[in-house]
Amino acid sequence: MKPVINANFGLYYAGQATSAIANGFVPIVFAFAALEVAPSGGLIPLVLLALWLARILLLPFASTFAEKHNKAAVMVGADVARLGAQLLVAIPFALGDARSGYMVASAAIYGAGTAFFVPSSIALMPKLVPRDELQRANALLGMASNVGLVLGPALGATLVVWGGVALALFFDVATLFVSVATLALLRRRIVDEQHTKEHDDGRIRFRDTLRIIPDIPGVFAVMAVYAGVQLGSAAVAVLGPVVAKEHLGGIEAWSSIVTAMAVAALLGSIVATRVRVRRTVPFTLIAFGVLTPLELASIAVPLDLVPIVVTVLATTFVTEIAGIAFDAYVQAAVPERFLARVGALESGLIGVMNPIGIAIAFPLASAIGIPAVLYGIGVLVAVTAAGAALVMALQTVDVALDAEPAAVDLQG
Ordered DSSP codes for 179-236 = HHHHHHHHHHH----HHHHSSTT----GGGHHHHGGGSTTHHHHHHHHHHHHHHHHHH
Identify residue 61 by its one-letter amino acid code. F
Compute the average pLDDT of residues 216-220. Answer: 77
Query: Which of the four pLDDT bands, split at 50, 70 and 90, describes residue 114?
Result: very high
Q: Is the pLDDT of residue 399 over 70?
A: no
Mean of all residue pLDDT scores within the chain: 83
Q: Is 341 exposed, middle or buried (0-12, 13-18, 19+ CB in 10 A)?
A: buried
In this structure, what are the phi and psi dihedrals at residue 84, rounded to the nearest 5 degrees? -65, -35
User: Is the model's pTM score more than 0.95?
Assistant: no
Per-residue pLDDT reduced to its tens digit, 343-395: 777 777 677 787 788 778 878 888 999 999 999 999 999 999 999 888 777 76
Question: To 10 degrees, the CA torsion angle through 240, 245, 250, 255?
Answer: 10
Torsion sign across C-alpha atoms 279, 12, 144, 107:
negative
Q: Does position 192 have pLDDT exceeding 90, yes or no?
A: no
pLDDT at 193 exceeding the cut of 60: no
The region of weakest confidence among 43-47, 261-265, 395-399 is 395-399
Question: Residue 350's closest CA among 209, 236, 229, 239?
Answer: 229
CA distance 223 to 219: 6
- Largest alpha-carbon pair distance within the chain? 64
State the Cα angle at 396 between 390 and 401, rounded to 5°. 100
CATH number for the domain running over 7-204: 1.20.1250.20
Helices and strands in the chain: count of H runs, count of E runs = 15, 0
* Domain limits, CATH 1.20.1250.20, in the chain: 7-204, 208-395
Q: What is the pLDDT of residues 287-321, one digit of tens each?
A: 999 999 999 999 998 888 899 999 999 999 999 99
CA distance 165 to 175: 16
Q: What is the pLDDT at residue 177? A: 94
Compute the average pLDDT of residues 193-216: 57
Other residues' Cβ atoms within 10 Å of the Cβ of residue 297: 17
Q: Residues 285, 221: contact at Cβ < 8 Å? A: yes
Mean pLDDT of all residues in 20-43? 79
Predicted local distance difference test score (pLDDT) of residue 363: 85
**pLDDT above 90 for 162:** no
Query: What sections of 69-133 are H helices per DSSP?
Result: 71-95, 100-128
Residue 27 bridge partners (DSSP) = none
What is the dotted CATH code of the domain comprising 208-395? 1.20.1250.20
Least confident residue range of 8-17, 275-284, 347-356 = 347-356
Which pLDDT belongs to residue 290? 95
CA angle 202, 208, 214 (to 5 degrees): 155
Residue 132 has pLDDT above 80, yes or no: yes
